[in-house]
Amino acid sequence: MDYLNTNKKSWNIQVDVNFKSDFYDVPGFLAGRNSLNSIELELLGDVKGKSILHLQCHFGQDTLSLARMGAQVTGVDFSEQAIEKARSLASEMQLDAEFICCDVYGLKEILDKKYDIVFTTYGTIGWLPDMDRWADIVSTFLRPGGQFVFAEFHPVVWMFDDEFEKVAYSYLQSEMIQEETSGSYADRNADVKMELISWNHGLSEVMSSLIRHGIRIDQFHEYNYSPYNCFKGTEEFEPGKFRIQKWGNNLPMVYSLLGVKE
Ligand SMILES: C[S@@+](CC[C@H](N)C(=O)[O-])C[C@H]1O[C@@H](n2cnc3c(N)ncnc32)[C@H](O)[C@@H]1O
């Protein structure tokens, strides 16, 4: 199964839908809204003057938010459509940001630079089969003492079926998951159909891979909410905090991690 081209095609289809969605609120973003959440902002601290490599940047809102905060940013994504939109947003906003269209695993072949921070958040590692190769990329692009800032949906969330009715996948599921979906997480009713291939990565797999590649883990947090309303059957129990109504406080929804390159 050619997971890379299958997923790339589906992400290219989603870009335009997501760009126009209320979920991403591009007009609000252009008017000054910072798209980053308190979870990752707390780990990032002051980014002014820092170089940041943003992996799987989609159409660049978070990358450009970091640029607005004074960072020198490079965003990477394998979707041509996403990178095209990111570049045009950067030029509209007159921000100095670099965007590279590339598979995460192929980055070493085209980029030779060390960064103060490698950043990647929400809905990224599930599209990558191998956490060891991912951690190698994270480590390769960090200078010694550089920080890895990571926030992701909790693997427990991915154990459930789409409706969050029942456990559909094992926590330690190692086989790929192949799904046909319609609509996008940013607009469920969008008239698009896609085939997507993903993997569930448990916490120990993620952390052990980072540690093996010389990343010391200084902070690790778990949250009972998602800052995004991107799942079915959610309730906003506090402003900007979403959880699955059926499961209340019982599920971890997101985790975050601050690593340091030894
Ligand atoms: C859920 S989005 C990331 C969302 C981002 N946090 C945001 O809110 O804009 C996942 C991104 O990963 C990208 N992606 C998936 N597989 C990839 C790969 N192998 N290499 C590079 N980018 C990839 C997709 O094109 C998509 O833009």
- Say yes or no: CB of residue 123 within 6 Å of ligand 1: yes
Given CA atoms 9, 100, 58, 248 in this order, what sign does their dihedral have? Answer: positive
Quick one: pLDDT band at residue 1, thresholds 50, 70, 90? confident
Mean per-residue pLDDT over the chain, rounded = 97
Mutational test site, ligand 1, from 127, 136, 157, max ligand atoms within 8 Å of CB: 127
Task: Please identify which residue in the block is written with the tokens 């309303």.
Answer: 229
* Average pLDDT over every residue of 200-229: 98
Residue 88: band (very low, low, confident or very high) from pLDDT cuts 50, 70, 90: very high
Burial 112-141 (b: 16+ CB within 10 A, else e): eeebbbbbbbbebbbbbbebeebbbbbbbb
- Distance (Å) from CA 240 to ligand 1 centroid: 22
pLDDT of 77 above 90: yes
* 116/146 Cα distance (integer angstroms): 5
Confidence bin at 20 (pLDDT 50/70/90): very high
Element (H, E) at 40: helix 38-44
Domain ranges of the chain: 3-261
pLDDT higher than 90, residue 173: no
Q: Tell me the CA end-to-end span of the chain in Å, nearest whole number.
A: 37
According to CATH, what is the number of the domain 3-261? Answer: 3.40.50.150
